[in-house]
Amino acid sequence: YLSSIKNIFKVLLTSVDTKPQQKSLTSGKANFCLDTDEEHVNFAKSDELNRVHSENREEPDGPLKFELDICHQDPEYKSPAPLPHAQVKLITSWEAGWNVTNAIQGIFVLGLPYALLHSGYSGLLLIVLAAALCCYTGKILIACLYEENEDGQLIRVRDTYEDIANACCKKLPHNLGGIVVNVIQVVELIMTCILYLVVSGNLLSHSFPYVPVTEKTWSVIAFVALLPCIFIRTLKIVSKLSQLCSLVHFVIIFVVITYCLTQMHQWSWTKFRLSLEFEDFLVSVGVIIFSYTSQIFLPTLEGNMNNPREFRCMLNWTHFFACILKTTFALTAFLTWGEKTKEVITDNLPSFLETLVNLCLLTKALLSYPLPFFAATEIVYSCISKDNHSNYRSPLLALTVRSSFLLLTLLMTMFTPHFALLMGLSGSVTGAAMTFLLPSLFHLKLKWKKMSFIEKCADISVFILGFLCSLAGIVCSIKGLLKIFGGV
């Protein structure tokens, strides 16, 4: 009897000694406890929209397995059964920054000198203002993911754009707000993927004009190069591709700016217009503002960072450097060619440089494709499998959804007439909504009682600006479609 009592005490003492170590392991290595005001989440959970933590995490020294509980959960946050043995692969602040850079340093950059041609000195101000506004809306969007607990600590109670929409639209039946946001996200992401395929076909056609192949056939060839995308399963891989994409982008900018500097003797500030045409100015505003859009990716990126406290700093630096780079690029290119500046600045380059830059742009377009493609497929097949969690990570389901999406982008590239105008029309609605309208509206709804008067005025101003940009884009796109189809 005494021996049994002694053994029981040994077990109790052993359990008491190991609990602090387990707690330290969980809080120190995994950083999932929210004592530091953050809650790490993986990409699969974020886009699956089921608010679940996983049980595995890969560490540099080897795989580390442990069981996690959802901590500091919103009382109204209904979480389904957790997915067993899901794999967490968190990303660093640098990797998150490369993804943001990939989003805000896109193909639109090549149109900035042409936008400067039609906007004059105001275009330079718009480049700076757009960077500040898009950085601001990114921050308030992430702020909507957090609430204060009784101790005044910020707790991450939402994971995705859909969660924010559902929190703001609780009176709507069947989570209608989240469904609408998901539809907007998927449309925006699909149109972006199609754009990259169209651009790839166009660049191949211009790079090899002597090859008797149509532009759509070149798009099919580019599509073949994108087939490995169906095997991308983690955000970490996408981050590496975004890093390569950003490096290629810097090479393009370096080549163009270097050539412009060799033509410095032709520069003249008198090339800037003082009188502007209103419709051309609106187009310039759209090109400048929407070259900074990345909000659609931010909740997932922030939730997957090793240290979410660095998110705001990362967002500041990426937008700051993007602003500097875009201003320098647009200004030097416009000062070099002036009134002869073409819609895509590479068309102004000498033939030998144009081919080189076009091939770099092709590489950039292909490397840019995986980010929106992966985000869109994650949203879709998470919604499909929402009621059947055991199949969420089914390889067959994942492969089917990704293959279907990849094929869909090709079919729309091949058979969608006047894609540029349709892209402008959809982008004016979805792009403005995701970048300006919804972040400011949701922030006002969720944080109204805690916001200062200046913050309220700022959000209302951003909403009005986003609405005007969206309206102007819709009018210009419809006008262009009427010219083609209606002879107006």
Local confidence band at 62 (pLDDT 50, 70, 90 cut-offs): very low
Q: Average pLDDT, stretch 293-322?
A: 92
Q: Which pLDDT score, from 0 to 100, does residue 81 have?
A: 32
Select from 211, 206, 242, 222 the least CA-distant residue to 413.
222
As a whole number of angstroms, the distance between CA 443 and CA 340 comes to 44
Q: Which pLDDT score, from 0 to 100, does residue 22 have?
A: 39
Among the ranges 17-21, 263-267, 455-459, which has the highest mean pLDDT value? Answer: 455-459
As a whole number of angstroms, the distance between CA 165 and CA 433 comes to 12
As a whole number of angstroms, the distance between CA 127 and CA 54 comes to 41
As a residue count, the chain comes to 488
Q: Which pLDDT score, from 0 to 100, does residue 369 have?
A: 94
Q: How many CB atoms lie within 10 A of CB 396?
A: 8
**Domains of the chain and any CATH numbers:** 90-486 (1.20.1740.10)
Local confidence band at 38 (pLDDT 50, 70, 90 cut-offs): very low
As a whole number of angstroms, the distance between CA 372 and CA 423 comes to 15
Q: Which pLDDT score, from 0 to 100, does residue 274 have?
A: 63
Model pLDDT for residues 320-371, shown as the tens digit of each residue: 999 999 999 999 998 898 888 888 888 888 888 888 898 999 999 999 999 9
- Work out the widest C-alpha separation in the chain, in whole angstroms: 100
Q: Which pLDDT score, from 0 to 100, does residue 94 have?
A: 92
Mean pLDDT across the chain: 78
CB 90 within 8 Å of CB 40? yes
**Lowest-pLDDT choice from 111-120, 174-183, 274-283, 468-477:** 274-283
Enter the DSSP assignment of 212. Answer: -
Select from 241, 276, 245, 215 the least CA-distant residue to 420.
215
The strand pairing partners of 65, in sequence order, are 56
Local confidence band at 68 (pLDDT 50, 70, 90 cut-offs): very low
Select from 423, 463, 145, 132 the least CA-distant residue to 286.
423
CB 164 within 8 Å of CB 145? yes
Select from 277, 335, 274 the least CA-distant residue to 121.
274
- Residue 391 makes CB contacts below 8 A (sequence gap 6+) with 385, 397
Q: Tokens 């994650």 correspond to what residue?
A: 378
Q: Which pLDDT score, from 0 to 100, does residue 261 have?
A: 93
Model pLDDT for residues 323-337, shown as the tens digit of each residue: 999 999 999 998 898
Q: Is the pLDDT of residue 87 over 90?
A: no
Angle, helices 235-262 vs 93-104, to 10°: value is 50
Q: Average pLDDT, stretch 237-247?
A: 92
Q: Which pLDDT score, from 0 to 100, does residue 248 have?
A: 93
Q: Tokens 């007439």 correspond to what residue?
A: 417
Q: Is the pLDDT of residue 226 over 70?
A: yes
Select from 123, 464, 110 the least CA-distant residue to 282.
123
Q: Average pLDDT, stretch 247-261?
A: 92
CA 417 to chain centre: 26
Local confidence band at 18 (pLDDT 50, 70, 90 cut-offs): very low
Q: Average pLDDT, stretch 443-451?
A: 92
Model pLDDT for residues 136-164, shown as the tens digit of each residue: 999 999 999 999 888 888 899 998 888 99
Task: Compare 296 and 25 and report the one with higher pLDDT.
Answer: 296
Model pLDDT for residues 93-131, shown as the tens digit of each residue: 999 999 999 999 877 788 888 888 888 888 888 899 999
Classify strands 87-88 and 56-59 as parallel, antiparallel or unpaired.
parallel
Task: Compare 459 and 274 and report the one with higher pLDDT.
Answer: 459
As a whole number of angstroms, the distance between CA 36 and CA 52 comes to 19
Share above pLDDT 90 across residues of the chain, in percent, rounded to a whole number: 34
Among the ranges 3-12, 32-41, 304-313, 472-481, which has the highest mean pLDDT value? Answer: 304-313
